[in-house]
Structure formats: C-alpha cells, structure tokens
Amino acid sequence: MEENSYKLLCIEIEQKRGEMILYGIRYGLTSLEVIQTSQQLDRLLDKLHYLNYPNTG
C-alpha cells in the first residue's frame, strides 16, 4: 500500500465526514444532501478497506 495514497484518502474521508455533518445540521439527517454524502463516504471507506485488506474482496 502506498503511504501517500493512504494519507490522501484519509484526508478525503475526514473532509467528506465533516461535509455530511454540516449538511445534517443544516438540512436534517434525512435530507437528500446527507444521504448522497453518506453514500460517497461509504465508497471512500470501502476504498480504504481495500487498501488495508486487498485480498478480502
């Protein structure tokens, strides 16, 4: 696993998490913005999982 890719992905995950929290505060937890951002965050977390455990999926 390339350390630089890992660090960049972790930063992107934290940014997306913060974005989702702000949308939740602004629009409510069931808003389309929160749902879409949550789905994007899930995809980023999946990438992180596959970087850490490449032979499990």
In the chain, where the domains are located: 15-57
Structure tokens belonging to residue 2: 């390339």
With contact defined as beta carbons under 8 Å apart, do 41 and 13 qualify?
Answer: yes
Please report, in tens digits, the pLDDT of each residue of the chain (57 residues total).
578 999 999 999 999 999 999 999 999 999 999 999 999 999 999 999 998 888 876
Its pTM stands at 0.88
Structure tokens belonging to residue 55: 């032979």
For residue 45, give the 3-state DSSP assignment: helix
In this predicted structure, what is the pLDDT of residue 34?
A: 98
In this predicted structure, what is the pLDDT of residue 55?
A: 84
What DSSP element (H or E) covers 10?
Answer: helix 3-27
In this predicted structure, what is the pLDDT of residue 9?
A: 97
